[in-house]
Structure 1
């Protein structure tokens, strides 16, 4: 019979060329491949959607012969791997062993959140039952070797965070023990609990209560991260309160909670925004930089996490084999130009102030930032870099350069009158100055006479102040690694605005950093770009050198302001040169003043502002005196 069949087939082949080796005959082999391949492709697409953010496994489960069990299994592997996305690509064509069983390999590439990319190949088996093709609901379809009971176990390993260093390579931050303090979700915490968070931890208790009530059951709702020693002091008051929970950990921190806080920055559990900044291998549970250098260099400091995925026996829980390994990479330190001792000195000087104040010190010859402090209380906002203030009479350094560039000299007569009127606008001097009448530019600078400088406004072109400011680096983008404001001196729209700009008022604004660089320009002779992180921040000259005669005149002006002018409070602290400033500002509808002083000694230039200060000489001066007396 087999011989006859063979002859028949051969005869048919010679006549029609259509004989099939399939048991079902005809072209059914191709039909099975197409039908099974179609359902496997549908399954692959449904798997991708199931592991997408907020994806559901039901559609993928519905394509299998045991929907409920498989959907739960697929979702469980997703949770175990913490997969953010996945691609599932069928390979080649299905292989059919008969008319009801076909298999096809699946190339799977999953992004394991916080670790990296894991790749593997699994096999989908399509079975035909009752005329319908279904995927066999096996764990091996997801990962080879899972079967019905085995499971995958992921472990993520974070490298130690690298340090931020000072100019000498000394660590400004190290990894220290911290405690994350929070509450249990729901209503376990009481009104007394939330009141304690407000009183002892400066956490808004009402907002924390709202978060706790909205959080899923059994969740830890974090409120604040504090140093371990701080928690030890608070433990007796907090730990017994209903609903209080804590978690231990480490965080990269400076030696004290206040040291260079606004510059170094802070760290906290990742938010949506800070997680984006932290890069693709960061996790929502990570402690990441939120401000300052910690934020700007988050990825460099954090390094790259590593991890493993192991296939484990479902009964014994023992590892069968490690199926994925991602090597981590240690973070790299960030070296800054900060001088640790000078930073401490600046902060100690600001601690003597009762008003908000900032102090910046730079190396005049390089523009490298030596200290940037804000006080008397620590703050996350770095107003020393980002504050936008009217610079007041410190800007007479720029005005003098503009007048000297317009042909005036140090002995040009500049009359100091009680007031001066410019097209209907009356300008006066600061309260401590008695008009002295006739005098030179040098005397007007030493005594900080507003009316004397404004009397020369007609000698300047409309853009003279803008151009003069540019010679000191004012008005350009600073391009620092952290946010910083370089100031602006817009071209005046009329004579009144021009007059105001000559005394650092009107539309003129600058940060303490920008004004410290103005003083540095007088010291060095050329405006330098500020540098905080060498190799990252652009270095070098920010403008062409000042004319030699202008440099000589301004250095004389600033030195004699200390030896016999408004900055005499600094006398006795070496060869200090300085300029005082008092700027009128409107705060909450009321006119007040900010006190300034800027100057240099040796190769160190500096500027200080005191918000609400009476005058540069009386309010800012004593802070600088304390600062200068503490280092040589």
Structure 2
């Protein structure tokens, strides 16, 4: 039967398992020591397990060598506990062999188990453990020591839809400038701008100097990846007042790829990128060189984060919005899955934060899509229902005009939608119930809260109203209704798919939805599709007619200082919403969307 010994750090010394109590001996051969090989081996293992290394060493024939070796094993392994098992000895005359099993408990719940043999010898009637390093581990040489070594886990990466990396673990360099550290701040600002503008075209000598004057001390000019820093480190090295620090972070592989979006994603995943570290126990020689690996547990990397963002669509959308001087933004979504394919904002829009997904704006005539859905759901009208489209209409005490006072007379609702007739849809909205617009908006995806992991979103706000004038103004997107480009992309995706998709950005991180989401009847969806196609074929979005089977709705929302330009719609399994803030004619938003579509590779 085997005998088990445990460190007293966690369990009491198992002296009850010993047939003879271990007694420290001053020298091998003392008559008061253990009298048999089993008792001596058990006493040695018990003392070693209890970290009483001197007592264990005194049971060997070379205590002066055994004591430091046994102590080194505990220290180098950073051990928390040792459990030792022994087997009955095999005795041949004055020698014996005792099999042992050690179970080391190491930091961070690591357990290392192995077996070996103690060689025993009898001299002048007393048994002792014949010392060599195999008494600690069978592969440990007499001039070697054990060493516990952590193996860091590879950190997770973030990749886009096709699998290419967009965020990778690595060092970043923050470049600081303190104008008080130089006698020539103007010259240093100029040198910084020259060296760094290749990474951020907004950096100019004036912008650097202005920021330096506003700062009380040093301020961050730019953050660079390692390869970017290496490219300019020589230019920065001798600039007085310029310094840097180096930190680990998640680093964009392309700083021009969805910079605002990747900033949000980095904040989301930064605490989840660490994998599970591995560990190993090695033998090390007297010179500190590694000799052998005795045990190894491989580190486990966290799985990569896969974004729904499509590199080609994102880049095409980004280039399209970057062509505008005004704030411009676009959201592109896959109706069949809810995958957010692109979130693009130009630098002017970035100044206000992630507005493409959470900024609220009056939607203008794009909201006529919601009004038409409400009218069809309430049985008030269908696409063929004839509605009046005079140049102006009076609702309560409010006179509502068409753009440039155009009129087309009495026409089917689809034609009023195609021409974006304010008077027709104001009248329709005025005849709806107080909750109808809100209910239809929710069925089209606007109103519920979407907790999209990695992206702050607000779809929109559509209030209930029993007040006639407000309802009429809301019905043409000029009242109290507000929507984000994300919300209007949800509207387009719902019409394209037939039901409202659940948007998501990071695979495996489901979106939580709060709020009711009713479904539109199939005939309502069909009616909306018919009308949106008419807008492209012969209405206000003819500019984009050459880009395949596009469905859409334009909108202009009057605001102080001008009007917002909108275009929302879909093509195939790709829904989009484009906003040019104070962009004037909705044709400008159509043009931005067309630029995005024309830049896509064949097959998109």
TM-score (normalizing by structure 1): 0.61
User: What count of residue pairs does the alignment treat as equivalent?
Assistant: 429
Q: 1:428 to 1:374 in 2, by over 3 A?
A: same
For residues 434-473 of structure 1, the aligned pairs below 5 Å read 434-473=406-445
**Are 1:264 and 2:262 an aligned pair?**
yes
Counterpart CA distance in 1 for 2:333 and 2:429 is 32
Partner of 2:268: 296
How far 1:197 moved relative to its partner?
8.9
Which residue, out of 217, 223, 226, partners 1:225? 223
Pair 1:511 & 2:517 matched = no
Q: Is the 8 A contact 1:198 1:205 kept in 2?
A: no
Q: Kindly state the Cα deviation for residue 337 of structure 1 after the two structures are TM-superposed.
A: 1.2
Q: How does 1:324-363 map to 2 (within 5 A)?
A: 330-363=301-334
CA deviation profile, 1:74-108 (whole Å, cap 9, x unmatched): xxxxxxxxxxxxxxxxxxxxxxxxxxxxxxxxxxx
Cα distance change, pair 358–542 in 1 and its aligned pair in 2 (3 A): farther
Displacement of 1:342 in angstroms is 1.2
* Secondary structure of the structure 2 residue equivalent to 1:454: helix
| CA distance in 1 between partners of 2:567 and 2:526 (Å) | 20
Q: 1:604 aligns with which of 574, 588, 594?
A: 574
Residue aligning to 1:125: none
User: Residues 364 and 523 of structure 1 are in contact (CA less than 8 Å); yes or no, is this contact kept in structure 2?
Assistant: yes
* Residues 327, 526 of structure 1: alpha-carbon distance in 2 compared, 3 angstrom cutoff: same
Query: SS at 1:366's partner residue?
Result: coil
The answer for unaligned runs of 5 or more in structure 2 is 1-106, 110-148, 197-202, 281-287, 289-296
Of 166, 171, 185 in structure 2, the residue corresponding to residue 172 of structure 1 is: 166
Q: Tell me which residue corresponds to 1:368.
A: 339
* Displacement of 1:596: 0.5
Name the SS of the counterpart of 1:341 in structure 2.
helix
SS at match of 2:410: coil
Matches of 2:463 and 2:349 in 1, distance apart? 33
- Counterpart for residue 532 of structure 1: 505
CA shift for structure 1 position 483: 0.6
| Structure 2 Cα separation of the partners of residues 386 and 191 of structure 1 | 43
Q: Give 1:194-233 correspondences, 5 Å limit.
A: 195=189, 201=203, 202=207, 204-208=211-215, 210-212=216-218, 224-228=222-226, 230-231=228-229
CA displacement, residues 477-514 of structure 1 (integer Å, 9 cap, x when unaligned): 01111211121101125212111110112211111111
Instruction: Report SS of the residue matched to 1:505.
Output: coil
C-alpha deviation, 1:423, in angstroms: 2.2
Report the alpha carbon displacement of residue 187 of structure 1 after superposing the two structures with TM: 4.9
- Pair 1:584 & 2:558 matched: yes
Distance in 1 between residues matched to 2:579 and 2:471, nearest whole Å: 24
Structure 1: gaps (5+ residues)? 1-114, 118-154, 213-220, 266-291, 309-316, 318-325
Query: Is structure 2 residue 535 aligned with structure 1 residue 561?
Result: yes
What is the CA–CA distance in structure 2 between the aligned matches of 1:304 and 1:189, rounded to whole Å? Answer: 46
Which digits, 9 at most, give the CA deviation of each residue in 1:574-595, with x for residues without a partner?
A: 1111110111123xxxx32111
- Alignment RMSD (CA, Å): 3.6
8 Å contact kept, 2:333–2:576:
yes
Alignment correspondent of 2:157: 163
Q: What is the CA deviation profile of residues 289-332 of structure 1, one whole-angstrom value per residue up to 9, with x for unaligned ones?
A: xxx01101221124578999xxxxxxxx9xxxxxxxx9987444
- Secondary structure of residue in 2 paired with 1:581: strand
Whole-angstrom CA distance in 1 between matches of 2:460 and 2:151:
44
Distance 1:305 1:356 in 2: 45
* CA 1:165–1:229: 2 relative to 1, 3 Å: closer
Tell me if structure 1 keeps the 8 A contact 2:377–2:520.
Answer: no
Query: TM-score under structure 2 normalisation?
Result: 0.64
